[in-house]
Amino acid sequence: MKALKSYVKRGGFFKAVVEDGSDIIFIVDYDGIILYHNPSVKETLGYRANALVGKNFFDYILPSSLSVFKKAYQSSTRRKFNESIEFQFLCKDKSFKYLEFNSINLFQKEKIKGLILDCRDIAQRKKDAEELLRAQKAKELFLANISHEIRTPINGIVGMASLLSQSPNVNEQATYLHAIQSAADNLKVIINDLLDLASIESGKLKLEEIGFNLNDLLHSLVNTFSFQVVEKKIELRYQLDENANQIFIGDPVRLNQILLNLISNAIKFTHSGTISISCYVKKKEAKKDLLTFEVKDTGIGIPKDKLNTIFESFSQADASVTRKYGGTGLGLTIVKQLVELQHGTIQVESEEGIGSTFSFTIPYGLGNRDNIKGHLHKSSPLLKKTLKDYSVLLVEDNDINRLYATSILKIWDCKIDVADNGYVAVEKIKNEDYDIVLMDIQMPVMDGFEATKAIRASAHPKNQVPIIALTANATQKDIEQCLACGMNDCIPKPFTPEDLYNKLVQFKSGSRNPELKSKIVLPDKIVDLAYLRNISDNNQEFIDEMIDTFLESIPKSIQEIRMNADAAEWAALARAIHKVKPSLTLMGLHSIKEKALLLEDLAKQQKNLERIPSMAESLCEELTNTLRELRQMSR
C-alpha cells in the first residue's frame, strides 16, 4: 500500500496513462491551438513527438466535416465534460483517420480556457459499422425481393384454385390448371435456388460422375423452353460442335442447371430476336476435353459498370430490373459457383441495347454408352410394372400431396391406407400389417419424427416396418435427423414417380426380412474425401499429403480446445475451433464441422456456458475417432 501511495504521490500514473497510453491526448485552447500531445500520435497518426505543438487542431480536420466539428468543439468549451465526438483527422501520410474524443474543460476548476481531448482510434469500428450496414441493406433488399417472388406464385395458385371451385367450363379449367402449374414451377425454382445456394456455401453439394450425351441434354433443354419462346415470339436454337457430340463423364444435372439459369435469364431479358446456345471443344486432351458453352441473346444488355457485380449474391443490374422482371438475384451466383465447383471459369460480355453473351468452360472426362445411367421416364416399361398387393401406409396431412401420392401408387396397384398425422399412423400400425410407410415430417398432433420414435419403441416385429421420410427439408442435417430417429431412408419433396417407384422397389426386395427393416442406414465412415478428390483431380499424392498434415496438426488442436474449455477461456476456445474449420471441410467432416460452428458461436458470444465444456469434449472425441480412421486408411 505504501509503495502504491508513493507511486501516486510521485505522479507515476501520469507517465503510465498519459505518456505511454494507447489513447492520443491533446491539450488545446478554445481556439484550437495545440499546446501538448502525447507520443501516441506517432503510432496512430504518424507524427513525431511535439510535431503538432503550435498547430491549429482545425487545420487537420476533414474539410467537408469542419463546420459540424466546430459546433461540437464549441459545445465542449461550454460544458464540464463532453464525450463521443467523432471526426476525421489528417495523418502524416495524407490520409484521414476516424477518431473520437472525450473532453475535459479546464475552465471549470483551473479557470483556464483550454480542453484536454482524450482521442481514440475508431477506424475499425467505423469499418465494421459500414460493413454491417451494407450487409443489412443487402439482407433487407433480398428479403423484400424473395417475399415478392414467393408471394406472387402463391397468390396465382390461390386465385386459380378459387376460380376452379366455381365450376368453369372445360377450356377455362385447362387455362386455370396451366396457370397453377406455371406458378408452382416458379415457386419450385425459387426454393431450389435457396437450397442450392445453402448447399454450395456449406460445402455439402456433391457432384456426380456419370456419363451423359450433350446432344440429348441440349435437345431436351431447348424443348423445355419451347412454349416460352413461342409466346414471346423469339427464336431459340442450339449448335453442337461435331467433336462435342459424344459421351462425357461429369454431372449432367448441374450442367443442365447452369444452362437452365442462363437461358431463363436470356429469355427474360430478350423481347425480340434470337437466343443461341453453342458448345464446342476448346481443348482436347488424352483423358479430358475442355468444353466451352455460350448463351448469346439479343436482349436489353447489361451496363458496363454492373458487369463486375453481376455474379454477386442478390444482385441485378439495378432496382428497376428487379421491379420489372422479378427474380431473387441468386441465379447467376449459383451459376458461377457451380461452374467453379467443376473446375471451370465463366465470363460475360454485354452491350446495352445489343445483347449479352455468357460463356463458361468446364473440363469433362471422356466416356461411352456404358457410363450412362438409366433414368426413368413416363414411357419407361418400369413404370408399367405392378406392385400388386404391396401394402403402403401414406402418412400425409396435406390434401394435395396426399392426392398426388395416392394417384401414383394406384398406377402400380398398391394397397393404400392413409393417415393425416403421426398419431393416427401409430394407431394404424398397431392394428394392421404394412410393407412400407411413407412418412411426412411436418404434421399436426404428432410429427413424423415423434411418430417414428413411437413406432420403433415397441419390440413387436410389425413395428420394424421400413419407414421412408417424405420431406421438403432435404439438407444433410435433416436427412441425418430422419435416420437418427429410426427412419430407413428419405425422399426429398417434390418427388417424381420415378423417385418413389425406385425407393419402393428397393425396399420391396427385403420387405419380408425384419432385420433389414429395422436397420437404420447410417454412414460407416466419418471421413468423406470426395472434396479432396474433386479439387485435386483425384491426385493421390496430394490427398496423402493433406491427410498427413491433418494427422500432424489436429492432435495439437484437440489439446488446445480441451485446455481452453477447462480453463473457461472462451475467446481462446473460439479461436482454436476457428483454426480447425478449414481442415474439417477438406476431410469432408460435415457433421463435425456443424458442431464446431455451433460451439465456436457459443464461445464467441459466451452463451450457454454450462454446455460448452461437454460440447468441447464431444468435439474432441469425434476428432480423435477421425484420426483413428485416417490412420487406418493410410496404412
Evaluate whether 382 touches 357 at the Cβ level (below 8 Å).
no
Query: CA neighbours within 13 Å on the CB side: how many for 415?
Result: 9
Task: Decide: 267 and 298 in contact? Cβ < 8 Å.
Answer: no
| Rounded Cα gap, residues 69 and 369, in angstroms | 75
Query: In Å, how far from its chain's centre is CA 574?
Result: 22
Most confident of 78-87, 147-156, 306-315, 451-460: 78-87
- At residue 276, the pLDDT reads 94
What 513-518 contacts at long range (C-beta under 8 Å, 24+ apart), as own/partner pairs, is 514/461, 514/464, 516/466, 517/464, 517/465, 517/466, 517/488, 518/456, 518/464
- Give the pLDDT score at 523: 38
Identify the H or E element spanning 578. helix 570-586
In this prediction, residue 346 has a pLDDT band, given cuts at 50, 70 and 90, of very high
Q: Does residue 180 register a pLDDT over 50?
A: yes
Task: Supply the DSSP string of 155-182, one letter for each residue.
Answer: HHHHHHHHHHTT---HHHHHHHHHHHHH
Helix (H) or strand (E) holding 122: none
pLDDT of residue 189: 66
- Residue 147: predicted pLDDT: 65
- The residues near 361 (Cβ < 8 Å, ≥ 6 apart) are 282, 290, 291, 292, 293, 344, 345, 346
What is the Cα–Cα distance from 125 to 454, expressed in whole angstroms?
53
Tens of pLDDT, residues 428-468 = 998 889 999 999 988 888 889 999 988 988 767 777 899 99
Q: Does residue 33 carry a pLDDT above 60?
A: yes
Q: Which pLDDT tens digit goes with each residue over 584-613?
A: 877 878 778 878 888 888 888 887 788 888
The whole-chain average pLDDT of the chain stands at 80
DSSP H or E stretch at residue 318: none
Residues 6+ apart with CB under 8 A from 267: 225, 228, 229, 232, 234, 236, 275
pLDDT band for 144, please (50, 70, 90 cuts).
low
CA 250 – CA 287 distance, rounded (Å): 13
Q: Does residue 631 register a pLDDT over 90?
A: no
The whole-number pLDDT of residue 385 equals 65
Q: How confident is the model at residue 324 (pLDDT cuts 50, 70, 90)?
A: very low
Give all domains of the chain, ordered by start, each with its CATH number: 17-121 (3.30.450.20), 127-201 (1.10.287.130), 210-371 (3.30.565.10), 381-518 (3.40.50.2300), 530-633 (1.20.120.160)
Q: What are phi and psi of 97, to 5 degrees?
A: -115, 140
Side chain identity at residue 474, one-letter code: A
Chain centroid to CA 403 = 33
Least confident range of 187-196, 248-257, 483-492 = 187-196
Give the C-alpha distances (Å, rounded to integers) separating 151 from 76, 155, 186, 187: 53, 6, 11, 9
Rounded percentage of the chain residues whose pLDDT exceeds 70: 80
pTM of the entire predicted model: 0.40
Give the model's pLDDT for residue 265. Answer: 87
- Nine-digit cell at 408? 401414383
- Give the list of residues 6+ apart from residue 348 with CB closer than 8 angstroms, or none: 302, 307, 310, 356, 357, 358, 359
- Mutual orientation of helices 590-605 and 570-586 as an angle, nearest 10°? 160
Give 475's pLDDT tier (boundaries 50, 70, 90).
low
Q: Which amino acid is at 403?
A: L
The pLDDT of residue 635 is above 80: no
Predicted local distance difference test score (pLDDT) of residue 64: 92
Dump pLDDT digits (tens) for 105-120: 998 888 889 999 999 9
Tell me what pLDDT residue 290 has: 92
Question: What are the residues whose beta carbons fall under 8 Å from the beta carbon of 265, sequence distance 6 or more?
Answer: 331, 332, 358
223-230 contacts at long range (C-beta below 8 A, 24 or more positions apart): 224/260, 225/263, 225/264, 225/267, 228/267, 229/267, 229/275
Q: Are 196 and 205 in contact (CB under 8 A)?
A: yes
Q: Give me the residue label for grid cell 498519459.
A: 18
Cell, residue 452: 417414428
pLDDT, position 222: 80
* All residues at 6 or more sequence positions from 577 whose CB lies less than 8 Å from its CB, including other chains: 561, 596, 599, 600, 603, 619
What pLDDT does 287 receive? 75
More confident residue, 376 or 82: 82
Give residue 209's Cα distance to chain centre. 23
Q: Which pLDDT score, from 0 to 100, does residue 254 have? A: 85
Over the stretch 7-23, which tens digit does the pLDDT of each residue have?
455 555 565 566 666 78
The one-letter amino acid code at 247 reads I
Averaged over 291-320, what is the pLDDT?
76
**Highest-confidence segment of 149-158, 159-168, 572-581, 586-595:** 572-581
HEC-encoded secondary structure of 14-36: HHHHHHCCCCEEEEEECCCEEEE
pLDDT at position 4: 52
Write out pLDDT tens, residues 504-524: 888 875 543 333 333 333 334
Q: In the numeric block, which cell numbers belong to residue 336?
A: 458461377
Find which of 175-179, 228-232, 292-296, 553-557 is predicted with most confidence, using mean pLDDT: 292-296
User: How large is the average pLDDT for residues 136-162?
Assistant: 70
User: Has residue 358 got a pLDDT over 80?
Assistant: yes
Name the pLDDT band for 139 (thresholds 50, 70, 90).
low
Average pLDDT over residues 533-537: 65
Cα distances (Å, whole numbers) of residue 82 to 36, 104, 202: 19, 7, 47
111: Cβ contacts below 8 Å, ≥ 6 apart: none
